[in-house]
């Protein structure tokens, strides 16, 4: 085995150990302890739109968030599957909600 193969092997091995550390975590804000995870981006957009209107529509949007999302504890390890300007599709990697997939706001993932 020559020195080049040894170096390449060491780099690949180090990369394999680094992969599990490439995950992200959910971030709860404003005194909250959990993050709303929506089934899809469309549900997220509907609730966000209603909440931003304020008044009775905003109140209904708040109730919609409760009904249309699953609460996942903050600091839960997740994998980002895809992302856009508003948020990310994630998969929960640990805890009782392991395997749950959904969409979260961009500021709820680090």
Specify the pLDDT at position 50: 83
Q: Where are the domains of the chain?
A: 23-108
Query: What is the C-alpha to C-alpha distance for residues 11 and 5, in angstroms, rounded to an integer?
Result: 10
Where in the chain does DSSP place strands (E)? 24-25, 34-38, 69-73, 77-83, 87-92, 101-105
pLDDT per residue rounded down to tens, the chain (110 residues): 577 766 666 666 555 544 444 689 999 999 999 999 999 999 999 988 887 887 776 566 556 576 789 999 999 999 999 999 999 999 999 999 999 999 999 999 99
Specify the pLDDT at position 19: 47
Alpha carbons within 13 angstroms on the beta-carbon side of residue 21 total: 5
Does the CA dihedral 85-87-91-92 come out positive or negative? positive
Which contiguous run of DSSP H or E holds residue 63?
helix 55-68
Cβ atoms within 10 Å of 16's Cβ, excluding its own: 9
pTM as predicted: 0.73
Specify the pLDDT at position 108: 97
């Amino acid at each position: 085995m020559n020195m080049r193969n040894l170096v390449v092997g060491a780099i690949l091995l180090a990369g394999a150990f680094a992969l599990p550390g490439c995950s992200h975590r959910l971030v709860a804000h404003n005194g909250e302890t959990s993050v709303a995870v929506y089934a899809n981006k469309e549900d997220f957009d509907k609730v966000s739109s209603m909440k931003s209107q304020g008044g009775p529509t905003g109140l209904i949007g708040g109730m919609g968030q409760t009904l249309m999302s699953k609460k996942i504890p903050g600091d839960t390890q997740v994998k980002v599957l895809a992302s856009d300007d508003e948020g990310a599709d994630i998969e929960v990697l640990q805890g009782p909600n392991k395997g749950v997939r959904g969409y979260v706001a961009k500021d709820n993932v680090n």
